[in-house]
Structure formats: structure tokens, C-alpha cells
Structure 1
Amino acid sequence: MGGMVKDLEARALAGDPEAQALLHFLRLLRSRDYGGARDYAEGFSGDLKERLLSGLAQLEEAPEGLKDPLFAAEREVLLGVRAVREGRREEAEARFRRALELDPGHHRALTNLGNLHQERGELEAALELYQQALRLAPEEPLVHENLAALYKRKGDLDRMVAHLKRANRLKLRPPPPLDPATGRPQRRLRVPLWVWVFLLAAFLYFFVLQRP
């Protein structure tokens, strides 16, 4: 399960910058940020760049014909969503499960599968899937929106409101800058407590205690 993704993760842990970059590309696909994925693909070179751009174009135009294993999980999710819209829910469920076999970290596959369970009134099964998606993508507004809908059906209005508020805050928040080396969001610099203590002491000494 997820052989290609696991291979990329192993290479990334070993310090392979290309694997790290491709994992970030996959994260953009999972969030359906095709514009961001296209911009990011422009940073690659040669055949790999062409492969990524071609795959993105096929995702948007004719996903059923896309054979590239890098895009396989996203293809299954898109075709699953299409199947739902056309009323073929058994096919949709099979496609979402196949997407998770290909990429266990695909949170949209989890939430779409959860939606099918919620439609059938299987609220606990849906909740488990949404919670898995939340662990994978806690900053994804869609996950919180699905949880809000579920808690509304369960009559838990406090949790419903909490997830709606969280979803709205995430939608309004600007995306963090990306680390050019890894493609991951950069961490904000955190100043250690002792630095603040030192600065406060220096301020008191030079600007307060030294006054005539």
C-alpha cells in the first residue's frame, strides 16, 4: 500500500532534495491546489518538470486517461467525486479506497469516504474517517467543515460551531512562506525566553537605572 509514496518518504528522510520536493508537490495535489502545484512544478527542470506539468494538465482535462503513478491517487479521488455526482456511489467508494491504498496520506480521499458514510447515516464510521483526515491535515478548512456538518447531525452544536470557526479562520489566514530547500512551510523564528529576560534587563539598566 502506498509503495511509491513510502519510497519518496524514505528517500526524503535520507536527505534526497528531489524526493522532499515531490512530497510537497503531492501535498499540493491532496489539497487540490493545482495552481500552487503548477507554480511549484516550474521550479523543477528537464523531463521531471514536463512530467509534472503534463500530469496536472491531464488531471484537469481528462483524468481517466492519466497513467502516471505520481498522480494515481489524485486521479482516483477526482473520478470518485465524478461518480458521486453521477449517482454511482459504489464506484465512488471503491475509488476513494483505492486512492488511500495508493496514498494513505490523502486526506481528501478520507473526507470523501466519510461523506458517503455520513449520507448513509453511519455517523461513527464517518467521524472516524474525518478524525483521520484531521490528524493528517489539521490546517485544511474542508476537514473542519465536514466535521461541523457531522456534529450538526449528531446534535453537538458546540463542536459544530468550533469547527466552523476554525474553518473560517483557516480560510482567512495567508499561507506561510515555503522553505525553498524542502518545499515545506517555514517555521516562524521563536526567540528563547532567556533572550527576552536579557533584553529586558539591558533595557532597565541602560534606560531606567542609569538616569541621573
Structure 2
Amino acid sequence: MVAELKARALAGDEEAKALLAFLAFLRAKDYAGARSYAEGFPEGEKERLLRGLALLEEDPEALDDPLFAAEKEVLLGVKAVGEGRREAAEAHFQRALELDPEHHRALINLGTLHLERGELEAALEFYQKALRLAPEDPLLHENLAALYKRKGDLDKMVAHLKRATRLKMAPPPSLDPLTGKPRRRFRLPLWAWLLLLALLAYLFLHKP
């Protein structure tokens, strides 16, 4: 599904580009952002996306839409971990990556399973792949800190803990509901500042 969307997007298909942006919200588990973004689609597609989001939160096992397949597998994997079914969880996370190789939360969860088993190099490989895709994920940096603590590399442990703390304290980025990308901060152009200064100078000089 993801490979097909990418091919269509490269060919200039605007709907495919929009669906890829929607997937970015799912990978980040920003369902509120995904819901807002879905509002910009034509009516039929909007209903499909909103229905999928509702099922993700209420009953992911009932989802049969391929667009949501990777996220569904991640959710089922997390559920399996909570129930102590580690092998089933790993299979779900691997399936998620087969469906969407850029699903960084699947990579993080696989890394954590390996970390729990003491397989530090395998865990690091998954975390590094996730880091290339989602360098701003605080949970990833916390996991890397735990890994480097196990490896005895205290400098890297502290660096990742500091990074995780900064990311948690930073305000969440404001996303453009039309593009799914962070909004640019509003900045007045230079001419507007000059006009404002001229107006203030005029008012100051002509005070009664």
C-alpha cells in the first residue's frame, strides 16, 4: 500500500500525496491530528478515514482497510506485549514493517523487545533505524538511554536523557491541517516593521 502510494505521489498524484501525509499522523499516533487532516478530503474519502480512525481507537481487530493495516499491527503488538505474549507481539511489529517500512514505532517496539532479552546490538540497530525516521521522538531517546546504560556508555546515556527531556518540555509543533507539516511561525516582513515604526514615530511626534 505504502509503496503504491509513493509511486503515485512521484507521478504527481495529489490524492496519494495527501494520503502519505495522513499516514505520517498515524505513525506518530497523532490521531487527533489525523482526524483534523481527514476533514480536508472529499466527502467519501473523509468518511473512510474517519471510520478507520474510530476503529483504531475502539476495535482495531475489526479494521480491514489496507491504509490502516500497519498501524493496526502495531496496536495489536502493543496489546500482545501487555498480555505477556512477546512472540506474538514481535510478529505483529514485523508485519507492520512489511506493510510500512517507515513505521518508526514498530521499529522502536522491536528494539525494546530485543533490549528486554539482552540483545543489545540488535536493539541498537532497530533504534538507529527509528532515529533516522523520527529523531524528535522522546520515547526513542529514553530507550536509547536505557540501552547505553546497559552497554556502560554513560556519556551517550546522559546525552539521550537530556534530549528526551528537552523534547518532552518543548511545545508540540503546530501542524498545518492541509499538508500535515509543521506550520511556519508567523513573521512580519521587513517592510511591515518599517511601516509600524513609522506609524509609531508619527503618533509619538503628533501627540496632543
TM-score (structure 1 length as normaliser): 0.82
Q: What is the distance in 1 between the residues matched to 2:11 and 2:85?
A: 42
Residue 13 of structure 2 aligns with which residue?
16
Describe the SS at the equivalent of 1:128.
Answer: helix
* Correspondence for 2:136 among 139, 164, 172: 139
- Give the deviation of 1:99 after TM superposition: 0.3
Describe the SS at the equivalent of 1:87.
Answer: coil
Describe the SS at the equivalent of 1:185.
Answer: coil
Describe the SS at the equivalent of 1:184.
Answer: coil
Percent of pairs with identical residues: 76
Describe the SS at the equivalent of 1:169.
Answer: helix
Residue 78 of structure 2 aligns with which residue?
81
Moved more, 134-143 or 15-24: 15-24
Q: What is the distance in 1 between the residues matched to 2:130 and 2:61?
A: 25
Structure 1 runs not aligned, ≥5 long: 190-212
Asked whether the equivalents of residues 20 and 183 of structure 1 are also in contact (C-alpha less than 8 Å), the reply is no
Residue 118 of structure 2 aligns with which residue?
121
Q: What is the distance in 2 between the residues matched to 1:36 and 1:180?
A: 7
Within-5 A mapping of 1:48-59: 48-59=45-56
- Give the deviation of 1:168 after TM superposition: 1.9
Residue 205 of structure 1 aligns with which residue?
none
Q: CA RMSD in A?
A: 2.0
Q: What is the distance in 1 between the residues matched to 2:177 and 2:34?
A: 14
Deviations 1:146-169 (A, max 9, x none): 111111111211111111111222
Q: What is the distance in 2 between the residues matched to 1:7 and 1:188?
A: 33
Structure 2 runs not aligned, ≥5 long: 187-208
User: Aligned residue pairs: how many?
Assistant: 188
Asked whether the equivalents of residues 145 and 158 of structure 2 are also in contact (C-alpha less than 8 Å), the reply is yes
Q: Structure 1 residues 11 and 174 mapped into 2: Cα distance closer, same or farther (>3 Å)? A: farther
- Give the deviation of 1:56 after TM superposition: 0.5
Q: What is the distance in 1 between the residues matched to 2:56 and 2:9?
A: 25
TM-score (structure 2 length as normaliser): 0.84
